[in-house]
Amino acid sequence: MKKIEIIADKQARLDVVCLEKVDKTRSALKKLIDEGLITVNGKPEKAGKTVKSGDKIEISLPDAKPLDLEPENIPLEIVYQDEDIAVINKPQGLTVHAGNGVKGATLVNALLYHLDSLSGINGVIRPGIVHRIDKDTSGLLVVAKNDRAHISLSEQIKDKTCGRIYVALLEGVVKDDKGVISTLIGRSDKNRTMMAVKTTGRRAVTHYEVIKRYKDFTLCRFILETGRTHQIRVHAKYMGHPVVGDPVYGYKKQAFKLNGQLLHAQKLQLNHPSTGERMTFEAPLPEYFSEVLKKLEKK
């Protein structure tokens, strides 16, 4: 069981303080409180308990229950593979790993079928997964086939030597040719399944540059400096130009009939875990993305 210790920095309800400090939903935290797994100064308390600055809050997180993951013959585009890594071009609509009610038909299920080995650092739920992209985002991600490769890739992401470049079509016309968006991102107070720019979030930095402007849209390139959940989508909304087709952060009224956002992980750069060779991989835009651009070209 993992334990997290928090020192309250203000007077507020117990559940409010925990929400700001731990990446959990309100309902998940309430369950922990009800089960006596969250204590204040060593004593279990109710969610509405008022804590004071300096109070010691301890959160006990039960170990995740292992899932019975089965290999599934899901079509998978393997761009590159050797004994250490595999680079996958993930299609839109495929969830990376189980969780939040998703139990099967994930990228992990497909990896278990197509690959002969996966790293075990992330346990049985996320074998081989070093980083992920959203279900409705397409494009490249690297998978570790052994623990040594996993550690190397994780360190590269942490040290920012693993380059991840995305392409997205944004609503409206972006004024500046390029720029940097630097904010704090955390769980939304209104909807805990969403992320938002907020003062209590974690540092998030995204670089962008305009590729092409259309009448009412802009094609942009994004380079991640950090890797927060939904980072590009949240920052695009923060710019006032949400990603086209985004069902969560985008406009309610969409100009095109799409099954998700036009956001594609186009380019991946990394140092090979064994040889140190600098490797670059690129994936072309999926057909549905290219078709939208063709329509805009005609206009």
For residues 126-149, one letter each, b for 16 or more C-beta atoms within 10 angstroms of the residue's C-beta and e for the rest, the string is bbbbbbbbbebbbbbbbbbbbeeb
258 shares a domain with 192 = yes
Say what the pLDDT of residue 29 is: 84
16 shares a domain with 85 = no
Q: Which residue has the tokens 């991640």?
A: 224
Render pLDDT for 120-144 as a digit per residue (tens, 0 to 9): 876 666 788 888 899 999 999 999 9
Which residues are catalytic, by number? 134
Average of per-residue pLDDT across 60-70? 67
Tell me which of 54 and 21 has the higher pLDDT: 54
Average of per-residue pLDDT across 74-98? 93
Say what the pLDDT of residue 210 is: 98
Residue 276 resides in a domain: no
Task: Supply φ then ψ for residue 50, to 5 degrees.
Answer: -85, 120
135 shares a domain with 170 = no
How many domains are there within the chain? Answer: 3
- Asked whether 129 and 122 are in contact (CB, 8 A), the reply is yes
Round the average pLDDT of the chain to a whole number and report it: 91
256 shares a domain with 219 = yes
CA atoms within 13 A on the CB side of 40: 20
Say what the pLDDT of residue 127 is: 82
The pTM for the full model equals 0.77
Say what the pLDDT of residue 76 is: 94
Q: Sorting pLDDT into bands at 50, 70 and 90, what band is 253?
A: very high
Other CB atoms within 10 Å distance of the CB of residue 109: 21
Render pLDDT for 23-47 as a digit per residue (tens, 0 to 9): 676 777 888 999 999 999 999 999 8
Domain that holds residue 191: 166-264+291-298
Say what the pLDDT of residue 168 is: 98
